Amino acid sequence: MAYDPENIFAKILREEIPCDKVYEDGTALAFRDINPQSPVHVLVIPKGPYESMDDFSENAPDAEIAGFFRAVGTVARQLGVAEAVGGDGYRFLANTGRDAHQEVPHFHVHIFAGRDLGGMIRRA
Ligand code: 5GP
């Protein structure tokens, strides 16, 4: 499946629609989820056109992969949720494909924090 440049996160990257930005560097953009599932719910996306973790891990250059995952850690520390900066921790996940209910076809990592996040996964 080809990357869809009209997906909502591509529009956010092009600043065609606004976002509540919390971090940006040359590789990644982070902004608050519009429908938060925890007191802190931030999305981190690469600036490159990758539709999923599958696509990103297979096709992104090593420097982009390293830069992106460093950005995820930086965002968690900047938000104050990482234990390294006195926070209580966080969960990050990337829904990938149908069974994971990935809604937006631009690779993104969710950072959830700000409450006890419970067990790892719940049966549907
Ligand atoms: P997925 O299910 O693809 O892993 O998650 C997509 C996420 O994007 C959802 O948590 C949803 O609330 C969020 N989202 C969808 N549209 C927008 C938007 O226009 N702005 C922001 N900030 N988040 C969005």
Q: For the chain, give the mean pLDDT.
A: 97
Does 2 map to a domain? no
Distance 102 CA to ligand 1 centre (A): 9
Does 119 map to a domain? no
Q: Which amino acids are annotated catalytic?
A: 108
Distance 82 CA to ligand 1 centre (A): 22
Q: Dump pLDDT digits (tens) for 28-76.
A: 999 999 999 999 999 999 999 999 999 999 999 999 999 999 999 999 9
* Ligand 1 pocket, mutate which of 6, 103, 107, 109 (most atoms under 8 A from CB): 103
Does 120 map to a domain? no
Task: Note the pLDDT of residue 121.
Answer: 85
Q: Report pTM.
A: 0.97
Does 70 map to a domain? yes
Does 1 map to a domain? no
Task: Note the pLDDT of residue 123.
Answer: 77
CATH code, domain with 65:
3.30.428.10
Which atom of ligand 1 has the smallest separation from the CA of 19? Answer: 22
Does 76 map to a domain? yes
Measured at the alpha carbon of residue 64, what is the angle toward residues 24 and 72, in degrees to the nearest 5? 50
Q: Dump pLDDT digits (tens) for 6-34.
A: 999 999 999 999 999 999 999 999 999 99
Query: Is-contact 110 93, C-beta < 8 A?
Result: yes
Task: Note the pLDDT of residue 13.
Answer: 98
Does 23 map to a domain? yes
Measured at the alpha carbon of residue 9, what is the angle toward residues 4 and 58, in degrees to the nearest 5? 60
pLDDT at 122 over 90: no
Does 121 map to a domain? no
Task: Note the pLDDT of residue 5.
Answer: 98
| Residue owning the nearest CA to atom 19 of ligand 1 | 8
pLDDT at 115 over 80: yes
* Structural domain range at position 55: 8-113
Q: Tell me the mean pLDDT in the region 95-104.
A: 96
Distance 62 CA to ligand 1 centre (A): 26
Number of structural domains in the chain: 1
| Ligand 1 pocket, Cβ-based, cut-off 6 angstroms | 8, 19, 31, 33-35, 95, 101-104
